Amino acid sequence: MRFLKFQVVAFFLTFTVVALHAQGLHLMRPGASFFSNSSIANDAKLVELVRTLRFYYVDTINDKEVVDKAITALLQELDPHSYYIPREQSDEAISELSGHFFGVGIEFAIQRDTLVVMSAIPNAPAERVGIRAGDRFLTVNGEPITNIKLTNSKVAKLLRGPKGTTVVLDVMRHNKVEKYTVVRDSVPMNSVDVAYLIRPDIGYLRVTRFAEPTVNEFFGALAKLNSEGAKSFILDLRGNGGGLMQAAILMASAFLPQGSLIVYAKGRRVGRQDFEAVQLGKVFLKSKLVVLVDENTASASEILSGALQDWDRAVIVGRRTFGKGLVQNQFAFPDSSLYRITVARYYTPSNRLIQTPYTLGDKNKYRESFISRYKNGELFHKDSIHFPDSLKYSTLRTHRTVYGGGGIMPDVFIPLDTTFASNYVSGLLRNGLIRQWVIDYVDKHRDSLLHAYKDFEAYKENFVISASDRNQLIDYCARNGQKVKDGTELSETDIRELDWYTKVFVARTLHSFEYMHRILHLRDEEVKCALDLLENWAKKGEKLLQPTQ
């Protein structure tokens, strides 16, 4: 473990340099020889049009608005992933890649138009001054924030801001109002938001994005789980839309020998560039590994899962991934607005181009292609997915058949679960009513609940909502528009599902986001499949990595 810790520190020192390139491609701004006389003339037409409108047009025009719309329209004529980011949204876009923002540092929910703290992020400004779960914000810098149709975006505008600036909060706790002064500081946007021993020798990690801090978080979580006894791992990339390509490359390096090709990129103006595994230690090179993916796994997530599949290094479980094989670089205008344009396509080690086909300028058709996956039954039946022979490729070690042409096809297909057991509970979940009731329930009983369930095992085994509390929940939902149908009673299935999701949200509100996922994993088919493969690796997991007969 000493060696692993040294490698993590070494990585921390080098990654800041690597991350200066938005997607890892070494590009230069075009020189004068790049432009022809005709291209210069076309560029001048756009400038001349704006100047003429400003001087001659019958009404006063908003230059910024016109230019922003023109840039947006121009980029819409390209591929589906080239786009413009106005100055007002540029800070958020940069935060996504940098992995932090400046604010007070809370996770919150909006309940009855009131901001309720779900948890104070450890060591963030709010936690340092004593704000805790269950607190309700009444004012921000003297401005009332209740009964104003509060939204997540409004909360972000109120609580985020430049480092070192002050936020004064009126906070209600147990019907008593206290005033807190919080100095905004850096707040991490965690990429690895769940990491725990799901079995004594199996570690589970969920990675939600690929940003600058992601690899440090990932290796830190791996090291911690390894020190606790994990020898095998479940890497959950479901819903991960990607981010920095370097993060995926360095994470793959944990499981692949130095020099292994992880991905290569090439484009019209970008020659082929290979990205290979670097030496980050040998601790995990032989660890058994299952990767979970779904239809929302995209971009850098597909680089990582595609490389591990091509090298027969991991079993991929879930559903076909999104299929984003285009590489964007980000550029800035002088006013700090941004634009991201596609500069290359990336390919997995077996030469698969996994980008979903598209037509230039037709983003609607591109979106419809994903909707058609649902309509055609692809998310529910593996047999609904058909690949032509031209898209067949072979893995590099055992020469198994894999496919290109739009996403990573998993080794084990798990259909999307649409057989929701209770229509009544489904309606409550859509309207957030169980979670809202749970916030009040935990607020009233927090001390007694923490005393009764001191750790996760005690909570998992023993927590059951009482019949009296369940009836209060049902009455609360009825008062908020979700009544049980007249003349009917809740079925055993309704009660079972209601109790289950109450337990899920109490775990989240009382303990943590991780506790909620630990409960959810008890009924998660992809997780259960991964556990079965790892616990029976010789008979099941390893067998899937061998060539088909």
Q: Are strands 401-403 and 100-103 parallel, antiparallel or unpaired?
A: unpaired
CA dihedral sign, ordered 203, 99, 254, 276: positive
Q: Angle, nearest 10°, between helix axes 214-227 and 245-252?
A: 30
Active site residue 485: no
Q: Which residue out of 253, 260, 287, 299 is catalytically annotated? A: 299
In 3D space, the residue among 217, 189, 208 whose CA is nearest the CA of residue 101 turns out to be: 189
- The single-letter DSSP state of residue 522 is G
Which CA distances in Å does 505 have to 194, 438, 463, 465?
A: 16, 7, 12, 12
Residue 164 Cα to chain centre, angstroms:
28
Paired tokens of 56 = 């001659």
Q: Residue 390 gets which letter from DSSP? A: G
The question of whether 299 is a catalytic residue gets the answer yes
Structure-block tokens of residue 358:
């598209």
Q: Which 3 state secondary structure label does DSSP give 332?
A: strand
In this structure, which amino acid lies at residue 489? Answer: E
With the CA atoms of 215, 19, 409 and 288 taken in that order, what torsion angle do they form, in degrees rounded to the nearest 10?
-30
Active site residue 468: no
Catalytic residue, from 236, 324, 494, 499: name it: 324
DSSP letter assigned to residue 210: B
Is the separation of the CB atoms in 45 and 39 below 8 Å?
no
**8 Å CB contact between 478 and 167:** no
Which of 462, 488, 460, 463 lies closest to 474, judged by CA? 488
Per annotation, catalytic residue among 135, 170, 294, 310: 310
The first and second tokens of residue 205, run together, are 């990690």
Q: Any idea which residues carry the catalytic annotation?
A: 299, 310, 324
